[in-house]
Amino acid sequence: MYIDQLSLTSFRSYDQLDLPLRPGVTVFVGPNGTGKTNIVEAIGYLASLSSHRVSSDAPLVSFDAAQAMIRARLVRASQATTLELELNPGRANRARINRANPVRARDILGLCRTVLFAPEDLALVKGDPGSRRRFLDELIVALVPRHAATRTEYDRVLKQRNALLKSARAAGRFTSAHEATLDVWDQHMAAAGAELTAARLAALDRIQPHLQAAYRDLTDGSKAVSAFYRSTLLGPVEEDGSAAPGPDPRDLLGLDTGQLTDRYLAAFAAARRREVDRGTSLVGPHRDEVELMLGRAPAKGYASHGETWSYALALRLGSYYLLADDDERPGSGPILILDDVFAELDAARRERLAGIVTGAEQVLVTAAVGDDIPGALAGEQITVVPGGVRESVR
């Protein structure tokens, strides 16, 4: 798929930007801070309803403006759709599809598929488990948009259950009324947690071969990568993701949501004393970890700087391969966005990456220095200047 027209209103540094785009490779060049990432961030937002840089919407709205607007004309399998998204920080965002009546923002999930790689993605490998859980959750929503609701429901139940555990702890004693209420929340959390866990396990299982292929394609292939889901169902996982060696996490893969629900109920029962003492939920997908292995060692703590980059990039390229595989209709592959990636790679990895991405229907690349872009990615070059774009060279 590709976007052939992008308009931004009061988005980040742009009062108004109207930008025609083409399929194939487009490179945005310009000095630091001119607004290259802002453009691709808007496109990524349209696909995932979240920014790769900030967790709230407020920074996306221009200084002095109350709301921002992202509009795009998307062509997927030769069919054009106009998407409009209104960002209202502090209030519900709204969307319109083909200029029809406004709908909830989340109703546009799944229409535009992008895979965005940015320097922030180093955190996927080096950062805390939350970054990896987010990666996986974004992937499950990209694959099955209704899982956006699965996430929301789990977060809602978790919040309530934590509030109960916290207030019981503050009260200093755990009464039978607390007990009864907690039993009810256990049921809700087991059901919601099972749904989310099943989706994550399935997505991780599906991406695995693509992740391995992507890492092989990017490097000389001398080291293999693999990813394991470490579930709190199989034993305690600390907040930093560490855990004692336990049963094989793949054992969970064969379970359906009913069986996972039962496993959660049993795990909650076993953890109840600890949870009451700590005043918080210790078992559930909010505490799970995705362990990334490089060769024989965990990538976190062992991988070199360059390997960390390649690993993070392979996670995104793996998503790209998987999404392309998921919808094989011609013209339906995801839009690939590479924000500031070439400057960090050595010449060999640049060439390899360029070779891989030229197969995508639309590739949007940003770079402060045009010379960092390998020759194989020759295409449209757009010079970004503060507040707009200056020229477009073919």
Ligand X SMILES: Nc1ncnc2c1ncn2[C@@H]1O[C@H](COP(=O)(O)OP(=O)(O)OP(=O)(O)O)[C@@H](O)[C@H]1O
Binding positions for ATP are 30-37
- Do the beta carbons of residue 283 and residue 264 sit within 8 Å? yes
When the beta carbons of 187 and 392 are compared against ligand X, the nearer one is: 392
Measured from the CB of residue 119, what is the shortest distance to Mg ion in angstroms?
8
Q: Which residues are annotated as a binding site?
A: 30-37
Rounded distance, CA 273 to CA 236, Å?
A: 14
**Out of Mg ion, ligand X, none, which partner does residue 32 contact, by CB within 5 to 8 A per kind?**
ligand X
Looking at beta carbons, which residue is closest to Mg ion?
37
Of the pair 20, 33, the CB lying nearest ligand X is at 33
Work out whether 13 is an interface residue with Mg ion (CB under 5 A).
no
| DSSP tag of 118 | -
- In this chain, which stretch among 33-41, 204-212, 247-255, 290-298 interacts with Mg ion, using CB under 5 A? 33-41
Shortest spacing between CB 370 and ligand X, in angstroms: 12
Binding positions for ligand X, rule: CB under 6 A? 12-13, 30, 32-38, 59, 61-63, 340, 366, 368
We find the least distance from the C-beta atom of residue 318 to Mg ion, in angstroms, to be 23
Strands (E), the chain: 2-11, 14-20, 24-29, 68-76, 79-87, 94-97, 103-104, 114-117, 225-230, 289-294, 297-298, 335-339, 362-367, 380-385, 388-393
Nearer to Mg ion, 37 or 48 (CB): 37
Which of 6/109 has CB closer to ligand X?
6
- Give the one entry of Mg ion, ligand X, none that residue 368 binds, where binding means its C-beta sits below a cut-off of 5 to 8 angstroms depending on kind: ligand X
Q: Which is nearer to Mg ion, 204 or 382 (CB)?
A: 382
Which residue, 35 or 318, has its beta carbon nearer to ligand X?
Answer: 35
Cβ 372 to ligand X, closest distance in Å? Answer: 11
Site residue total, Mg ion (CB under 5 A): 1
- 265's enclosing H/E stretch is helix 257-278
| CA atoms of 132 and 298, how far apart (whole Å) | 14
Q: How far is the CB of 18 from ligand X (least distance, A)?
A: 17
318 binds, among ligand X, Mg ion, none (CB under 5 to 8 A by kind): none
- Candidate ranges 34-42, 97-105, 316-324, 379-387; the one touching Mg ion (CB under 5 A): 34-42
Q: Compute the least distance from the CB of residue 340 to Mg ion, in Å.
A: 5
Q: Is 315 left (phi over 0), alpha (psi -120 to 50) or beta?
A: alpha
Cβ neighbours for 22, distance < 8 A, ≥ 6 positions apart: 2, 4, 362, 380
Residue of 137, 169, 158, 150 lying closest to 282 (CA atoms): 158
For residue 183, what are its two tokens? 């039993």
From the number of C-beta atoms within 10 Å of its C-beta (0-12, 13-18, 19+), residue 161 rates as buried
Cα dihedral 362/363/368/371 (nearest 10): -110
∠ CA 228-200-194, rounded to 5°: 115
37 binds Mg ion (CB under 5 A): yes
List residues near Mg ion by CB under 5 A.
37
